[in-house]
Structure 1
Amino acid sequence: LMDLQPGTDYWIRVSALVNEMKVKDAPAVEFRTNACRPDTPLLPKLQNRTRNSLLVRWTSPSDNGSTIVHYILECDDGTGGDQYSEVYRNRNKQFTIGKLQSSTCYAIRLAACNEIGASDWSPVLRASTMGAPPLPPPPPTLRSASAKQLNLVWGGPSSSSSSPADMLYTLQMVDPDSGHGFLNVYHGSDNEYTCTGLTRSTAYRFRLQAQNDDGLSRWSEETTLSTTADRPAAPARPSVKGRIQAQSFRVRWDPPLDAGGAPVRQYSLELDSAGTGFSPIWNGPETEFNCDKLTPGTTYRVRISCFNGQEHSDVSETLIVTTEPVCPGAPAAPHLVGKVRSTSLQLGWERPEYDGGSMVTQYEVNMINPDGSTRIAFSGYETECLVASLLPGRCYAFQVRASNRIGFGPWSELYEIKSGPGVPSAPVQPLVTNRSAHSVSLVWNEPDNNGSPVHEYRLEMAPHPRVTKSSSVGSGSAKQLEVKGLHPWNTYHFRVQAVNAIGLSSFSPVSSMTTLASSPASVSGLRCTCVTATSLSLSWNAPHCNGSSITHYNVEIGDRGTFPTNDCSTTFDVNYLTPDTTYRVRVQAANAIGVGPYSTAFKFSTRPLPPEAPRLECVQANHNSLKLRWADGKNLDFIHYSVEMQEDGSDKFYLVYEGTSHSYRVPKLKESTSYTFRISARNEVGEGPYSDEVVYTTTRAPPPTLKKPEVLDLTETSCRIVWSAYRLPVSSDSVIYLVEVTRTRESQEPIMRKCWESEIAVDGLESRTEYSVRVCPIRLCQDGEIPGAYSPLKTFLTPSNQAQHLSTIDLQQNASSQVNNVGGTI
């Protein structure tokens, strides 16, 4: 058995196991381990100290089975050696070691003893006795300073018996802005401290105090330390002072609003030329600077920074300045582009090497003519131009200059060139002579050939001198030509063009000539403006008179002959023609010269006559309508008929029907009334005349059908029949009613009764018999009787005698009960 505690009682027993199950336990046996010396005590603790004594206290270690009889406390002599001497041997757990030296560090150890022996020594306790307070430390010194903080360092007091690790320091500072005097800013064992949150360029007073276990020292001497200046703010954006020159400009700026607590000592100016980057060009205390030796027309960027002796500020906002440009330099001499032509040439040139600092906006090309005169041949931005209107075979000189927004630069060197041979000059105006109404003769002179013989002439003709597209009427080497096939009394315009090996000349001035007068031209636009059954109204367009006014027209109407008009009117009416007939018509114009050709023949047809009105007859007359008919069969010609009826009390007729039918019923008429009608027929030709007026009369209206009659006062042999009365439309007429009563199940003669009133009493009936009754109104007028339709049947059953007796008894009982009820109420 291992790891047992010394001096400790233990009990042990043995158990038998079968298949890991306890079967039986042996009796327990007691034994005790042997005792040994105590365990090593823990480090003693310093309870109190004075200048010549130390109070030490400790705790008891494990005695390991034997009671501790005493403790041994040893202490060295304070020199730091390993020589210990016993200062205490007893059972108490604290002891005051006396007669010690002040401010001395002693080493103390402890051992426990029992009957077996002494334990090992405890860890060594090093404790110092108290001594005198430290001397005043030297004042703090400045290690580093900035605008917001001061880094201070200091040393310990001289002749101090305490170790530097046991020394505490208190640092105090006077803030001039607070007015509270010295205040603690640090307390600790470090020999340095950084004061933060200070004001820039401000003097602060400091003092230091040392402290150890024995007390506080006096304050050190006061020292004054100052923070440095802060980083100044960026200066304001510079501005241009005065006028910007082509190679210089002057800038000025204002000092920064915040100099960082110290005056600005120096400004630094940086310049960027065309985006090459900023580079410093000047440093100084002034707030103005003249930037010179610059390139004209170049954009510069300027910025400023300052220095207050402590730190450099940020750069200011950038000022952008563009120097004034100058006139551009002279381009190289122009050169020929392509081939030389007789009247034009293409010149080109390069841009000037120096544009004066501003984009070239224009070029001018100066042309020196063979006679020494000059003119500007081109002005524009392109570097090529076409010089036209040159004389062929002449020497010309050209020079070019460039311009920007400042002005023109110098002229380039001269470029001399000779134009090539050209086309002939324009011929003079040709001479035109009339030969007939349809032809003219032209003659012209040979123009200047400009170095190449003329081998052809081209003659063109146009109807107007300003028409650009003319028709060619001849070409050849001859200088005269006769033009035929012209129209009489028309003005023609002619021009001539000469041709040599180089090309075509310009056209000559236009010559105009009007041909002689002639007979009129052919008439056009013949048309018929109005057609009737017996007449034609003709119209046409006036033809060209060919120089002589038209006097009249000849109108040819088929086999009817030719009819001359009275004047130059372009309309003519032909009357007394046959209806529905086709005529061939043509027209010719005539003037003082003669007659013109006939126009194209046109065929015009007269209209057929409109249809006659049919005979109108009445095929059926009712009291409220009349059915009219005017024809039989089908309407194959689709003739439209219009039936009109005369208004009451008026001579006017109004339309009651229009269509292609052969009959029509006129509704909503009054009874026994006469109406007047007439009819007309119409086809695509027109509307025919009205027929003779006819008069037809409506009949009298029969009485209307009465409602089903009512049967009242029914007995076994009699009853009373009632119906609604009929109101007569005419007061002079009267009405009588025919009442028919019939047995429904037996075929017997009905009972027929007539009466003037709207009710009748019928007797002679049989009891328990079913009857039906109906009523027929009969209108009595001067023309006779007009019967109406019977009313619907009313069926009724006559009662028996017993039923009548029971009915009588019931009536009497009802009467008695009513009397009794009245008496009881009274």
Structure 2
Amino acid sequence: MCDICFFWVFFLQVILVQVNPGETFTIRTEDGALQCIQGPAEVPMMSPNGSIPPIHVPPGYVSQVTDRNGSGPCISRTMRMCFHPSEANIPFLVFFWWLQRIQHSNALLSLNESFQMAIGDILYTFWITLDLTVCVFYRVSTVCNSVKGPSFDAWAFTTHSAPPDTPPPPRLSHRTKSSLTLQWKVCMTELYLIHLCLCSESQWMTLYRGPERKHLCEDLKPATSYSLRLSCVNVGGQSLCSDDLTVRTHIPPPGRCQPPSIVGDVKHKEMTLQWDGPLCGEESENVEFSLEMCAMEEGSEPTEVYCGPKTECTVGNLLPGTTHRFQVRAANSAGYGPYSESVEISTGAGPPGQCSPPAINVTSHTCADVTWENKVSSGIDISEYRLDWGCDLDSLELVYSGTETCFQIFNLEASTYYCCRLQAVNQAGAGPYSDLVMCRTPAVAPDVVSGFRYVDHPLNPTENEPFSHSTCLALTWDEPHCNGAEITSYSISVGDRIITTRSVTGHIIRDLLPDSEYSLQIRAENEMGPGPFSQTLTVRTRPLPPSPPRLECAAVGPQSLKLRWGFSSRSQLTDDTTYILQMEDRNQRFVVVYRGPSHTFKLQRLSESSRYRFRIQTVSEAGEGPFSETYTFSTTKSLPQTLKAPRVVQLEGNACEVTWESIPPMRGDRISYVLQVLGGRDSDYKQVYKGDEASFQLSGLQWNTDYRVRVFACRRCVDTLQDLCGSFSPSTHFNLRRSDATLAVEADITRVPMGKTLSDEQFAGLIVFGVASLSVLMAFLLQLLI
């Protein structure tokens, strides 16, 4: 059988619990007893499975541990084991050892590791290698299967010495302007070294060497930055220096400042002061100054008027002609320095102060007395008073300037608000205005009404009664000033009677005589009484308007009506008389068809056999007269139109056929035709046909004889059973000639119009043509003569 050796390497974690001075740390020992450890001390606690065990410490206790391997707040120990393999049964081996320190405090460390043992009476040897602490006494025992066995006799061994580890930097616990108090943590060492260096230099010096964990560094410079380090020393040597701790000593309070002095001129309400700060040094950095002012009266408390880094200050809101005491002191982060010497400075004489509000006594609605008290000036006599007066602040005007203490104001308006203010003036200037004083004049009766005038038409269109210029007068006026009391009514004087109206600016006087003259006056009234009457207004009513004339129909036609009217029976007619003729339309509304001075008018484009309603009105300078009664006139029915000349066609034998154009029925009335023939030596036409047909055959005519035929249309009215016949057509001339063959011979038609006199229009046209021709001829002759 060969011996095979296996090496197992694992890590132990040890927590070093820092017990501060004056504290007690209690742990349970191997035999179950409680052990109390007094501080200062470091108690190592081992964690065999790599985790940190829960540690219960007193309330408020802060433990400190050292990180060695980077895995957490613990110290790692390396253990190597060499063993032989065995059967499947795996016992557990637990090792315990105690650290014998200088302070004689023991700490129990345990290590759990499993390995397999061989079966038999073979003796195996185990090698356990631990990374132990330097200069420490150990005792080892074993426990198999979690059952404690007998411990070995105390086997003492001591590890070799080594320099201490690098300590943490010291901690500042207190400082003053010339000292620093440092503390540091407990280390496994005998001596501690404190090294000091000015931050502005690079030379280090050892300030302390000893076993204490606290040191007071004295005789340092104020407001100076220092760097400090900590190192440890034991039998193994000196550790490396800790990281630098940079601290700065406090700044001392500043020194005494120079007394304040005046800069420039001293005014009556302000002055500018300056001062010099304390001597230059560390205490003069970031310095602020506090300037205090105190009145000269006994028991006056000083007041701070400035606080800031500047050495100059302007003090305002001072009283003119008064003396004040000033002193200054400096302050920095360390506190205030001593006060400077106090100085007394007086302000100059200034303008007067604010006057008391004046008193106003309103004696009437147009007059007021203003009085005020004599103001005490600021060291200089008052030269004048200024009184401002107005309706409001924006309208204030200077109404008085002098040395008197009263003034009377006239020409005020009734029931009006007024205000005033007072100002005193001396050689130094004008003082502030007094408070504004208000007053109001009493109310009185209204002022005289102005703008009283006559108007053609009422300004108030809501009047229900008709308005006539012959019996009515429309008046209007401007509203007067009410003088503080609202106007309740107006009184109009018309001859011997008084007419009272409402509080409006217009009125209509009715039931007057036409074409009569009246003298009118008006006044306004309020609760204070009636005001004065206005100036007299003389007006005259108009005459009565003309009555309407009688309307007649002078001529009637199927599409026209000629109307005429006479003169008005009332009032005188002048050239300005106008007649207004109105006709009722389809909507039963009367519309104006004529307006003018003429007495006739002809309406065209009317409908035949239609009724029309008319009324007429006369308008003159006296006004518009009433409308006449309604007149009804009707147009006649239209006559049939004139037919064209009939056509004649010769038939066989001594017969012929006469044809003419036909006319359609006219508004439901049938049309008949009348044919007349003139032949041979007859002098009158004879009616040969009357009927509805548009042709007729003539027979029994003589050969080689001249004949003439004509035709006219008749309208057979259904409503009146009358016949309305039109004009004759042009006649047609024909001669019946013998012929062997029966031919349809078209007669030689000669259209000769029937003889009748010229109409009025044709005669007038002929005259116009003649006159025009004569004018042209005379113009031509004159041109030749010239």
TM-score by length of 2: 0.45
From the CA coordinates, give the structure whose radius of gyration is larger: 1
